[in-house]
Chain A
Amino acid sequence: MLINTGIPTKEDLAKVDPSAERLAQGPVAIVECFQEIPCNPCVDACKRNAINIEGDINGLPIVDFEKCNGCGVCIAHCPGLAIFVIDKTYSESHAVVRLPYEFVPLPEKGQLACALNRAGEELGNFEVVRVISGGAKNKTTTIWLAVPQDLAMEVRSIKAPNSAPNIQNSAPGLQSSPTDTLICRCEDITLDEIRRVIADGYRTIDEIKRVTRAGMGPCQGRTCRQLIAQELSRHFGIPMEEVLMSTFRPPVKPVKLGSFVKGGDL
């Protein structure tokens, strides 16, 4: 699932991909945006009004593939680097994938670059046919990569030249135990202590806060609240949304008592 892996599934992609007929007609933008967040620079980037958002600003963008001419202006405007332009008419054997790139060093025209799929897996080395700088204001570079036709809908990034081999998720030999894992950093409360009070029958964040002091330190629960909710969710087998949240009260950040008296800087 996208929310767990960060990788869109075939079903997700089926919702945003243009038809095979449209792809055969020439370059076209594909917006692989699946998360409803308040974001819309793609809408303003398109001078042909081909990108629209459903409902309010949280809606997902929808491309009108008939209006889109595949100019690619939207690629560098997407803060989430989720827009690609696919040109299946580049040659008989090859398609061009235009993709956003925000790493240094930049590849150069004519160089081979290692193509990656959405999961970051290597798909082979292909020629960079164009490198377009985003300009002084928007520095996102657009890379044109010529890939075999059958990889046009798979290649979505390139590996930085001379980049380090894939880093393992954790250092070998590094293990954490519940007695070492801190949940509340302000009050030094470990995962082990949180699990113990849950086993004792405390079942809300507020109860756990009162019995352990987790969430009563300078950060006011900003770090531990979610972690405790996660632990409660796991223990009781309920979704996170059903875990009763603690009460939120001002101030939202630490304020010196003197500021209440005299005013002034926080």
Chain B
Amino acid sequence: MRIEQHPILEFDRKEKITFFFNGQEMEGYASETIVAALHAAGVKELGKSPELHRPRGLFCAIGNCSSCLMVVDGQPNVRACVVKIKPGMQVELQSGKGDLK
């Protein structure tokens, strides 16, 4: 879901681009963060929590908490709520604290 009409803000979404979520091709707008694009596509689970392995979704949405840490282009612990999507970006669910390969 995207907000189409807002009383105060204007959205300059920019062009449509393609990225990948767990290998699956997804569309989003160039102005969107990874999480915004995933939410619009219906993906709300962003990873599993490190100890209890519970599904994690968006929590603070401003880069404060650690709820949206994802693996982006092979790099773990990327705050997906504040990083914008790029064409061809590979976004993956992160389980636990992430590994550096």
Binding site for B on A (CB under 8 A): 101-104, 106, 139-141, 185-188, 217-219, 222-223, 253-254
- Asked if A188 meets B8 with Cβ closer than 8 Å, knowing A223-B60, A223-B64, the reply is no
Complex contact B6–A104 (CB within 8 A) = yes
Q: Which residue of B lies closest to A105 (CB)?
A: B5
- Complex CA–CA separation, A186 to B79 (angstroms): 13
* CB of B49 within 8 Å of the partner chain: yes
- Complex CA–CA separation, A188 to B55 (angstroms): 12
Complex contact B49–A219 (CB within 8 A) = no
Q: Which residue of A lies closest to B51 (CB)?
A: A188
CB < 8 Å: which of A139, A187, A218, A219 contacts B8?
A139
- Asked if A139 meets B66 with Cβ closer than 8 Å, knowing A188-B50, A188-B51, A218-B77, the reply is no
* CB of B67 within 8 Å of the partner chain: yes
Complex contact B64–A222 (CB within 8 A) = yes
Complex contact A253–B63 (CB within 8 A) = yes
Cβ-Cβ contact count across A and B, 8 Å cutoff = 46
Q: How large is the interface on B (under 10, 10 to 19, 20 to 34, 35 or more residues)?
A: 20 to 34
Complex contact A186–B50 (CB within 8 A) = yes
Which A residues are in CB contact (< 8 Å) with B42?
Answer: none
Which A residues are in CB contact (< 8 Å) with B6?
Answer: 104
CB < 8 Å: which of A104, A186, A187 contacts B7?
A104
Which A residues are in CB contact (< 8 Å) with B67?
Answer: 185
* 11 CB < 8 A contacts A-B: A101-B7, A104-B6, A104-B7, A185-B67, A186-B66, A187-B50, A188-B49, A188-B52, A218-B66, A222-B65, A253-B63
Question: B83: shortest Cβ distance to chain A, in Å?
Answer: 11
- Complex CA–CA separation, A253 to B59 (angstroms): 17
Which B residues are in CB contact (< 8 Å) with A106?
Answer: 7
Which A residues are in CB contact (< 8 Å) with B66?
Answer: 185-186, 217-219, 223
- Complex CA–CA separation, A143 to B36 (angstroms): 33
Complex contact B7–A185 (CB within 8 A) = no
Q: Which residue of B lies closest to A139 (CB)?
A: B8
* CB of B85 within 8 Å of the partner chain: no
CB < 8 Å: which of B54, B59, B77 contacts A254?
B77
- Complex CA–CA separation, A102 to B5 (angstroms): 12
Complex contact B7–A102 (CB within 8 A) = yes
Complex contact A218–B7 (CB within 8 A) = no
Complex contact B65–A187 (CB within 8 A) = no
- Complex CA–CA separation, A140 to B6 (angstroms): 11
* CB of B69 within 8 Å of the partner chain: yes
- Asked if A140 meets B8 with Cβ closer than 8 Å, knowing A218-B69, A253-B63, the reply is yes
Complex contact A104–B5 (CB within 8 A) = yes
Q: Which residue of B lies closest to A160 (CB)?
A: B7
- Complex CA–CA separation, A139 to B9 (angstroms): 8
- Complex CA–CA separation, A154 to B8 (angstroms): 26
Which A residues are in CB contact (< 8 Å) with B79?
Answer: 254
- Complex CA–CA separation, A140 to B9 (angstroms): 10
Which residues from 1 to 45 on chain B have a C-beta closer than 8 Å to any C-beta of chain A? 5-8
Question: A140: shortest Cβ distance to chain B, in Å?
Answer: 7
3 closest Cβ contacts across the A-B interface?
Answer: A188-B51, A218-B66, A186-B66
Task: Contacts A104-B7, A185-B59, A223-B59 known; list 6 others, CB within 8 Å.
Answer: A139-B7, A188-B50, A223-B64, A223-B65, A254-B77, A254-B79
